[in-house]
Every structure is written in structure tokens, then in C-alpha cells.
Amino acid sequence: MNRMKATNDFVILFANINGSGSASANNLFAKAVFRLGIPVSAKNIFPSNIQGLPTWFEVRVSEKGYLGRREGYDFVVATNGQTVVKDYQELEKGGYFFYDSSRRLPETLKRDDITEIGIPLTNICNENYTDPRLRQIFKNIVYVGALAYLFDMDFSVFEDSIKSQFAKKAKLIEPNIKALKLGYDHAQEHYNDICQLNIHRRNLTGDKIMMEGNTATGLGAVFAGVTVAGWYPITPSTSVIEAFESYCRKYRVDAETGKNKFAIVQAEDELAAIGIVIGAAWNGARSFTATSGPGVSLMGEFLGLAYFAEIPVFLVDIQRSGPSTGMPTRTQQSDVLAAAYASHGDTKHVLLFPANPKECFDMTVIGLDLAERLQTPVLMMSDLDLGMNTHMSDPIQWDESQVYDRGKVLDYDGLEKKKERWGRYLDVDGDGIPYRTIPGTHPTKGAFFTRGSSHDEYAVYTEDGKIYARGMQRLLTKWDTAKTIVPQASISENNNDIGVVYYGTSSFVAKEADDMLTDLGHQFDEMRIKAFPFGSEVEEFIKAHSTLFVVEQNRDAQMKSLLVNELQVVPDKLIEVLNIDGMPITAQFIVDEILEHINGKTSEEVK
Amino acid sequence: MSYIISDFRHPNAKVNDLGLSKRDYEGALSTLCAGCGHDSISAAIVQSFFEMNIEPHKVVKTSGIGCSSKTPTYFLGRAHGFNSVHGRMPSVSTGANMANKDLQYIGISGDGDTASIGMGQFAHVVRRNLNMIYLVMNNGCYGLTKGQDSATADVGSAGKKGVANQFAAIDLCQLALQLGAGYVARSFSGDKKQLVPLIKGAIEHQGFAFIDVISPCVTFNNTPSSTKGYEYVRDHLDATGTIDFVPERQELKIIHPEGTSKEVKLHDGSKLILKKNSHDYDLSSKREAMNTIETVREEHKILTGLIYLHEDPKDTHAKINSVDKPLNSLSQAEVCPGSAVLDDLNAGFR
């Protein structure tokens, strides 16, 4: 039998039981790979459940720096009896099947094209620990120790990780290291030179960090000066607010009084959450909320109000698989249209599409600036994959010279100096953006009545159709202004006739797909969209290519629809590449779809 | 009805301690039906804020949707107002209050806006003890959509269409009590003498102050068969006691015979003076307040006046321990951790 051989380029699947403490052990392993200087991506494939159901953790080790998901498992760590059959059968040919040999594998499991590695995890723990809880938890650490041996990894990295992880709980360091060694030693004794997959130190990660998108988003909101958050718990967005709160506790508690320079209100529902954000922003505080698709649906009416009454809103949408409750713990990019045109009547909203944790941070800062500059809702479209998985990313940066853009706000002096009559909805600069005032600013000037009903330039109620229409047209002028200040698409062009369009997490696999296509003799230009409305660069890129593959993770080609709708593109030239199974898209999938379109063949056949 | 508001000011018009006249507390001309109870409430609000010497621009007016929610345009024209979406005034008020704790918040709602579509938000703003006045202009019907029953309409009450309501009525005062409101009052738009001191007490109250004001809809629900028409309400009022508001620095002017009145102190030393009547109960007892509402209802009457007062010193801001300075006034330097913390932060992710 041919045992799979590879160094720093393979995929490990951890099959665990939800709630068994495996997550921290698996993260310990992934982090060790990263600390050995090798690009790594880790994806938690978890159920909508707190305890008992199967959960998987995929770790892709890639010296080439491919951070997207790859189909297929080269090494399986099977600790879950419920899924052992499936995990066994789906292992790649030549792969390795690691299991707890305290119990024998079911008789039916027979393959002669894989290598079985049985380590008696339960027995080892029972022999070494008496506390039942520790026996369970350390089982996970023991298998990590065994992996360290099997993959020929530098053991000191694990020791250092444990030491830094438990720096504040020093008494946990020794037992954890002991558990690692138990696994390491057992594997060394019984499986010497069996595993041909290696993880060897490299120097490829530079100053990169490993971070969850939601953590970066919450941190971004702290740096961006958000003081009010209204929210309602919903997977996969909850950890955005949790991160915001934990960083606020770290950086925003007044040292003298112990009081908080922030207000976080857990609302009764998403309607109230967005209402709180709107009320706070209207009253001059930076505010935000985080939610997912169902929340966006509920917030629709309020988003229309904020659009029409011109109130800054920053909303983070961590997309999950819809429609309805859908697959709440699986990823998707299926809220694009619902977000772009949220609410009844003629409405459209600014969207941002981050593709890594650093962008989650940066776009949160940019998004809050844009919301105040444009006095309108801005929705940052992250997703479960980006938000809840740990990703390798450039480090977080903050330029001390950057000043919050609070937009056009008239303060006391501004109102005093104003010679002509001030109109809340009067476009004096020609960019469609009027000046606003904050309650309490001036005793006699600048008060107005905010409403979602039609109003004239002076915020006075009107049912005069011409005045209403004038206001609606001005909002389009503002929309045009937005096109010039939202983040521009990143484009890599080489005069190719065909282009590939990515956005958000679909771009994790862009480089890999491009390399694969290049190997097969295809050269394409590439564009990653970062915002809606589309800037002129997007329009030009679309115009310059005869065929464009639009890569998305939804069924209905929502970004394609937006492009067709907003840019008057001929629909035929935009070819849909759509992954809808709730798992992060793979490069192989994209390559197959593109090749199938080009020559009616899959890459396997082409090879 | 005139649609032009007069600019005339009487040269000797009374001014308050701020040197402002009542005109400075008025708003745009009302477009509600002539005789609408809501306009009387707007006038009571104008009088209360004027007499309490509140700077109008330091007030924030919020509302939902409906006839009641239009009224913030008709009072305190120098204050910012926010006519939000149906039933969602409480969340907008919460956000606004979180941004700036130093302003005075008055939210106007109706019985449809509060007892039906906004029931959830109402319940939770009470729970949060948001420092605001929440005033319901309660007419038992949906005026702006031409008179459908609302959830506060009594069983058997019939408006203009003549069909008696079959569904149980929601008593918003009882609900507010149950949910923890610290200040609960009911009044009648036709009784300004009672309403003004109640609004003043609410202005002074730290925390959530709820006032349910029965305000007849002259167009759709002022029939003899309605329990929210002028005639019925006038005939069935039963007050907890005649009430007066006495500001903190003012000497007590109303002299009631010994033992016939009682004082209710507010946090700043102001007092509400209640002339006792047969409903003399402990106003700080939630149970007695509930009991009295029910007892009076069994007599087919409507309990008005101050029903409950208990100062919970912890409003939302106190509960979440926010800084004394309004959050919307914090500078970038006060809220942004800056690049100094980045080395540590990034190191934690390696």
C-alpha cells in the first residue's frame, strides 16, 4: 500500500463530540502549526447544538499559503463513535486513520488503502488521571501530543503554547504538558516511522496573526469609537458583541471611577436593537449592531427609516445559510440582495465586503466613518466562515493620524455663523449630503423633527409630490457620492479576455484557483469587490472583459443580480459560479465550474 | 379652525425663570381634529415644561406612529423630535438616552402604538427603567385608520361603528406596575388641573415615568356607547386624590386641613401634594396600587391621579454603570485605545 507522503501540505480532520472540550485542543494544534511558521487555516464545522452532536474541525496546512477550504481529508482524528463509519470511509486513499483504540473499531470498517493508527486514549487517561472530568479533557490533549510525534513537529512549540495559554493558571501547565507527553511517547513507541505526513518548521508567516473575523470586528468597533451597541443574540454574530464588550472592559473603563465609557443594551429583539442604534446615532453617539440574516429581515422597516430620514447606521451582518432559520451554523453569502435593498419603497444601502480579519477591523472603522459621512445605513457583510473561524491575517494596525470622520454636523458655532436658513435636508454642497444637528446643541437654532414620512428640505411634513420626488432624487445624488468614497475593488489585470469576480470569503480560494487554472493553461484577470455601490473601477472591469465568472456562495447569484441591476450589464456575460452547500467554497469547485463552462469538461478529465 | 399660527406676543406675557414665555414652549399648529383630546395634552405638556423652567432645547421628543405620535410637532418646537416607526418609540428613546443622559426625554405614544404593535418594546423599556416620560394618549381606537378598536377598548364599548368590542382590555397602568415602573399615573385630557402636576412629577422623577392619559377621539370614539368618550369618562373618574406639584425651592402654598393631605417627595426635594380621599393608600405599595385599580374598576369607574411612586435610583445608565459624561460627548482620545496597545494585542494573536 502507498502511504500518503507530504510535508506541510495536507488536511487533517478532527471528528469530535460537541461540548467535549475538543475545540481548545484542536486550536492548540492549529496554533502550533502557525507558530512553526507555516500558513494554516482551521474551520470549525459545528452543529446547532450545545452538547452531544457531532462536530468537526478541519485543519489545512499549506506551505503554499492556500487558506481556503480543500475537499477531502488526508488524516482523520476520529474520537466520535457516532460518525466513525463516515469519517473512516471518507478518508482519502493512502491517508491515515487515527482512533481511540481503547475500543476496537467496528468489524465492518475494512480498508486496505489506508493506515490505521490506534492509540488507547481512554485507557491512557484512565491510568493517569482519577478525576473523570480531567480524563475526558486530557484525552484531547493526549491526541494532540500523539500528532506532534506522528507529524514530526517540534515539541517545544506545544510546550510554549501551553505555558502562554495558562500563564495565569500556572498549576494547569504541568498536567497539560504531561498529557501531551503521554500521547507523544505512546505514538513514538508504537508508531515509529509510520506516518509520512510531516509538519516542519518554515518561516512563512512573518508578522501575521491568527484571529477570528468577529473578534476583529468587535475590536474595530472599539477603535472606531462606538459607544452604544444595541443587539440581540443570534448565531453567528453573537461573538462580535462579546468581543466588543470584552475589549471595552479592557480599554474603556474609566480608571478613576470604574465606570464604563460604553453602553451595551441587549434588546428584546432585533427591531429594538436597530432602533437603539438609530436613536443613539441620531443623538450623536457612534453606535452599531451585529446580527445575521433573520435579524436583517426584522430590521428592514427601521433600515428604510434610517435611509429616508438620513440617520447613520452601522450594521454587521454575519451571514449564515438561509432562507428562514436555514442552516444556522453553516456559512453562506445569501443576504446580499436582502441587505442591498432592505425595506419597502425605493431604498438602497451601502455594503462592505471584508475578506479577512484585518479587513473586518478596517472596514468597521471605515464603515462607521461612511455611515456618518453619508448619513445612511452601512452594512458590513461578513459571514460565519470569516466571523467564527480563526484566520491567518495581517496584523491589526492603527494610524495615529487618522481622525474619525463625523460627517456634516453643525455645532453651536456652526449654527451661529450660518447666515442663510438652515435646512436639515437641504443639499448646499451639491453632493447630496445635507447638514445635520444633534439634540441639545443650540437654544433657538437647529431643532427639527425627524420623520419617516415625506418631508421638504427643512424637515417639514409635506405631501407635495414634487417636493417628495426632489428629495428622493437627491438621495440618488448622495448615492453617486457614495460610489466615490467606498473602498475600491482590488483588481489584478493582465489584458486577459476573461475575468473572475470574487467578494468576501469566496476570495479565500482565489489564489489557489488561479494557480490551478494557470497550471492548466488558463490566464484570467481578477477582481475582488469590496463595496456596494460599485465604483467606476468595477464598471470598467466588467466592460473590459467578454466573459466574467462571478464566484458566490448562494443559490441565486445575488452579486451577479446586483451587477446586472446597477451597471446595466448584459446578463449573459456574467457566468455564475455558485456554491450553496453551506461549507466554505473550495478552489477545486471553482476550477471545475470554470472549466466546465469553457470546454465542457471537469479538471479531472482535462488532466 | 385657523391654519395660520399668530406671531403676536402679548407684551406683558408671563415669563418663567429662564426669561422664556409660554410661546417658546409651543410647537407647530395642530392638524388633529378640532376638539381632539390630544391637543389638550399637548397644551398641558407646554404648560408643565414652561412652569418647570426646562430649557426647551434640552428636551428630546420621541414618538411612534398614529394620531398621538403626531403631537410632538405641536409642542416644544425648539426641541429635537423623532417620529419613528409604529410601536418602536421605546427603542429609539433608549438609544437616544444612551447617547446623552443629560437631556430630558419625553416619548408620546398611543394605545395602538403601545398596547398592540409596540407591546414588546413598551414592556422592555419599562424593565430597563429608562429615564424618560412615557405618555400614552389613550382613546381606545385607531383614529388615523378610521376608528378600529384598539387593545385598550373595554369589553362592550362601542365607537362610531356601533359594534361592541369583545376582547379583553389591556390596562397599561397595571402592566407598567407589574413590569417595574417607578412612577405610574393616569389622567384625563379634559382635566388639565390634574394632568399638569402629574407631568411635572414625571419630569422630576428619575427613571421611568408612565402616564396613561385617556383622551377621547371626537371623531370615532366619542359615542354614548363608548367608555372612552368625554361624557362617559367625566362621569366615571375616580381620582386617588387631588394633586399639586410643589417645586423644591418653593414654599408650600396649598394648605389643606391637618390630616387631609399627604406629601410625596421626589428625589430633588420637590413634592407632590395629594389631598386625601377615600382611596388613601400607600402610594409606594405596588400591591395596594394594583388593588385600588381593580377595586375602582369593579365599581365601573376609572382610577386617575398618581397611582404609584417608588424611586428606583438605578435607571438604565446606573444599571450598566456608564460614565457621568454623556457618551456622545466623549472625544476620540477618550474612546480610542490607539496604536499604543497594538503590539500587545497582535502578540496575543500569534
Q: Which DSSP string corresponds to A301-335?
A: HHHHHHHHHT--EEEEEEE-B-STT-BTTS-----
**A220: distance to nearest CA of chain B, Å?**
10
- For residue B266, what pLDDT is reported? 83
Helices (H) and strands (E) in chain B, counts: 12, 13
Question: Reduced to 3 states, what is the DSSP secondary structure of residue B265?
Answer: strand
Q: What are phi and psi of A416, to 5 degrees?
A: -60, -45
Q: For residues A49 and A298, which has the higher predicted lDDT (pLDDT)?
A: A298
Q: What are phi and psi of B292, to 5 degrees?
A: -65, -40
- For residue B3, what pLDDT is reported? 53
- For residue A19, what pLDDT is reported? 85
User: What residues pair up with A182 in beta bridges, in sequence order?
Assistant: none
Do residues A436 and A310 touch, judged by C-beta distance below 8 A?
yes
- For residue B264, what pLDDT is reported? 82
Answer whether residue A607 shows pLDDT above 70.
Answer: no
- For residue B2, what pLDDT is reported? 44
- For residue B241, what pLDDT is reported? 86
A83-112 pLDDT, tens digit per residue, is: 999 999 999 999 999 999 999 999 999 999
Q: What ranges do the domains of chain A cover?
A: 6-198, 211-393, 412-485, 490-606
Lowest mean pLDDT among A189-198, A387-396, A596-605: A596-605
Determine what percent of chain B is predicted with pLDDT higher than 90: 83
Distances (CA, A) of B277 to A199, A292, B254, B261: 87, 56, 16, 9
Answer whether residue B271 shows pLDDT above 90.
Answer: no
- Average pLDDT over every residue of A68-79: 96
**A520: distance to nearest CA of chain B, Å?**
36
> Mean pLDDT of all residues in chain B?
92
- Average pLDDT over every residue of A484-509: 96
Q: Does B186 touch chain A (CB under 8 A)?
A: no
B91-148 pLDDT, tens digit per residue, is: 999 999 999 999 999 999 999 999 999 999 999 999 999 999 999 999 999 999 999 9
- Average pLDDT over every residue of A52-63: 94
Identify each DSSP E strand in B139-265 by its residue range: 141-142, 148-149, 183-188, 208-214, 237-239, 242-246, 261-265
Taking one residue from A and the other from B, the number of pairs with CB-CB distance under 8 angstroms is: 225
- For residue A262, what pLDDT is reported? 98
Answer whether residue B1 shows pLDDT above 50.
Answer: no
Answer whether residue A603 shows pLDDT above 60.
Answer: no
What's the CA gap between A260 and B322, in Å, rounded? 4
User: Could you tell me which chain A residue has the CA closest to the CA of B320?
Assistant: A263
- Average pLDDT over every residue of A123-143: 94
Residues 110-129 of B with CB under 8 A from A: 120-121, 123-124, 128
User: Could you tell me which chain B residue has the CA closest to the CA of A212?
Assistant: B349
Do residues B149 and B165 touch, judged by C-beta distance below 8 A?
yes
Do residues A503 and A354 touch, judged by C-beta distance below 8 A?
no
- Average pLDDT over every residue of A483-495: 97
Answer whether residue A604 shows pLDDT above 60.
Answer: no
- Confidence band for B252, pLDDT divided at 50, 70 and 90: low
Q: For residues A410 and B255, which has the higher predicted lDDT (pLDDT)?
A: A410
Burial class (CB in 10 A: 0-12, 13-18, 19+), A30: buried
Answer whether residue A326 shows pLDDT above 90.
Answer: yes
User: Could you tell me which chain A residue has the CA closest to the CA of B123?
Assistant: A268
Helix A465-485 to helix A357-374 angle, to the nearest 10 degrees?
150
Distances (CA, A) of A2 to A7, A73, B334: 16, 16, 63
A6-198 carries CATH number 3.40.50.1860 = no
Residue to substitute from B29, B75, B78, B88, interface A, most A β-carbons within 10 A: B88
Answer whether residue A417 shows pLDDT above 90.
Answer: yes
- For residue A571, what pLDDT is reported? 95
- For residue B278, what pLDDT is reported? 81
**A371: distance to nearest CA of chain B, Å?**
16
A232-288 pLDDT, tens digit per residue, is: 999 999 999 999 999 999 999 999 999 999 999 999 999 999 999 999 999 999 999
Q: What ranges do the domains of chain B cover?
A: 22-329
**A465: distance to nearest CA of chain B, Å?**
19
CATH of domain A490-606: 3.40.50.920
Chain A residues in contact with B341 (beta carbon < 8 A): 251
- For residue B269, what pLDDT is reported? 82
A211-393 carries CATH number 3.40.190.10 = no
- For residue A197, what pLDDT is reported? 98
A137-181 pLDDT, tens digit per residue, is: 999 999 999 999 999 999 999 999 999 888 889 999 999 999 999
**A70: distance to nearest CA of chain B, Å?**
24
**CATH classification number, B22-329, choose in 2.30.29.30, 3.40.50.300, 3.40.630.30, 3.40.50.970:** 3.40.50.970
Residue to substitute from B323, B341, B342, interface A, most A β-carbons within 10 A: B323
What's the CA gap between A533 and B235, in Å, rounded? 62
- Average pLDDT over every residue of B253-282: 78
Identify each DSSP E strand in B139-284 by its residue range: 141-142, 148-149, 183-188, 208-214, 237-239, 242-246, 261-265, 271-275
- Confidence band for B280, pLDDT divided at 50, 70 and 90: confident
Of B58, B85, B102, the CB nearest to A305: B85
Q: Does B160 touch chain A (CB under 8 A)?
A: no
Domains A6-198 and A211-393 belong to one CATH topology: no
- For residue A20, what pLDDT is reported? 85
- Cell 488536511 belongs to A11
Distances (CA, A) of B125 to A26, A523, B63: 43, 59, 14
> Mean pLDDT of all residues in chain A?
96
**Contact between chains at A395 and B77 (C-beta distance less than 8 A):** no
Query: In 3D, which of B321, B313, B332 has the Cα closest to residue B266?
Result: B313
- For residue A125, what pLDDT is reported? 96
Chain B residues in contact with A254 (beta carbon < 8 A): 323
Residues 31-90 of B with CB under 8 A from A: 55-58, 60, 62, 72-73, 77-85, 88, 90
- Confidence band for B247, pLDDT divided at 50, 70 and 90: confident
Chain B residues in contact with A274 (beta carbon < 8 A): 91
Answer whether residue B348 shows pLDDT above 70.
Answer: yes
What's the CA gap between A21 and A139, in Å, rounded? 9
What's the CA gap between A150 and A115, in Å, rounded? 12
Q: For residues A193 and A32, which has the higher predicted lDDT (pLDDT)?
A: A32
- For residue B273, what pLDDT is reported? 83
- For residue B255, what pLDDT is reported? 58
**Contact between chains at A440 and B57 (C-beta distance less than 8 A):** yes
- Confidence band for B254, pLDDT divided at 50, 70 and 90: low
What's the CA gap between A428 and A570, in Å, rounded? 37
- For residue B253, what pLDDT is reported? 56
Determine what percent of chain A is predicted with pLDDT higher than 70: 99
**Contact between chains at A447 and B80 (C-beta distance less than 8 A):** yes
Query: In 3D, which of A299, A295, A340 has the Cα closest to residue A320?
Result: A295
- Average pLDDT over every residue of B4-16: 75
First to last CA, chain B: 73
